[in-house]
Amino acid sequence: MLKTTAVAATFCAVAGAGIVGYGETTAQAAQAQLASSTTARHGHSDSFSGTKKIRVDGYSVNVSCSGRSAARKPVVVLMAGGGDGLDTMAGLQKSLSKKARVCSYDRLGEGESDQPDGTQTVNDSSRILTGVLDRVAGDRQVVLAGHSLGGLIAARYAPGHRDRVKGLVLMDATIPALTAGVSKAIPESATGMAAELRDQTIAVNEGQNPEKFIIADEKVRSAGNIPVQIIRHESQYAEVPDYGPALEEMWAEGQEQWRALSGRSRISVAPGSGHYIHVDRPDIAVKAIQRVTAQATAHS
């Protein structure tokens, strides 16, 4: 495997053809913390602990929930990066569920959920997310906390669902204009590992990934005046030293663009972290999600 694997993970955390393996360590570390699956039942909102399969838009979707609901407190929904299942969120979910109701799910093409029938866009992924929220949260408000591609999907979803999404935590979320960014940071004249990274990233963005998800460059839309915490990695690009500074600048600028989601957006760097912030610095991730949930509860 190319050493570009870990760097490509920073861009979108999608395991496409030739970009595989970077989710294995975190998945194995968290696997044992998940409960076994059970059979889903139909209903407007389910209150359960453990994992189960639910039907959404004709697909079987794997969902995990834990913790107890509290009056007026939003349900926290964790969204893994591309190429990762909900198991990579298990450690974070276990910590958060001591004080809140927390759920996570496998998007189509990931983990134990069904494969998508064809290419997916943000609208397709949003439709599945809405179905999941209907089942696990019902009429309750939610805080979405997403890593990498999960963060991008959460950020794209929130503006169109202001009645439901009352807070966001973006953990090194895929940037709003990734294809343009990487094309600028690594020019066509690049060779070797950098050239392969560029080509792989663009291919993944075009849908060559397990979710068949097209990661399109789009402007950031406002999600209202909700609390938004944006956390980015400290260092990730040592393996492509010639273009590392340009890639770091691209990523930092992209994270800044997410601030347009809300007038209450905050951005910070997680010291000592790579792309998997919730694994490298779970303390920072937990505190950020708890803080945003508290802010969302106070304004509900």
Reduced to 3 states, what is the DSSP secondary structure of residue 246?
A: helix
Average pLDDT over residues 117-141: 96
pTM of the model: 0.87
Average pLDDT over residues 85-96: 97
Higher-pLDDT residue of 230, 20: 230
Which residue blocks in the chain are alpha helix, DSSP H?
4-12, 24-31, 90-96, 122-136, 149-157, 178-185, 192-205, 244-257, 277-280, 282-298
For position 43, what pLDDT does the model report?
38
Average pLDDT over residues 231-255: 92
Tell me the per-residue pLDDT of 47-79, one tens digit each, with 9 for 90 and over: 789 999 999 999 999 999 999 988 789 999 999
- Indicate if the pLDDT at residue 31 is higher than 60: no
Tell me the per-residue pLDDT of 273-292, one tens digit each, with 9 for 90 and over: 999 999 999 999 999 999 99
- Indicate if the pLDDT at residue 94 is higher than 60: yes
What is d(CA 231, CA 269) in angstroms, rounded to the nearest whole number? 6
CB proximity list for 148: less than 8 A, separation 6 or greater: 9, 10, 12, 13, 80, 81, 82, 84, 171, 172, 173, 174, 275
Average pLDDT over residues 182-188: 95
Average model confidence (pLDDT) across the chain: 87
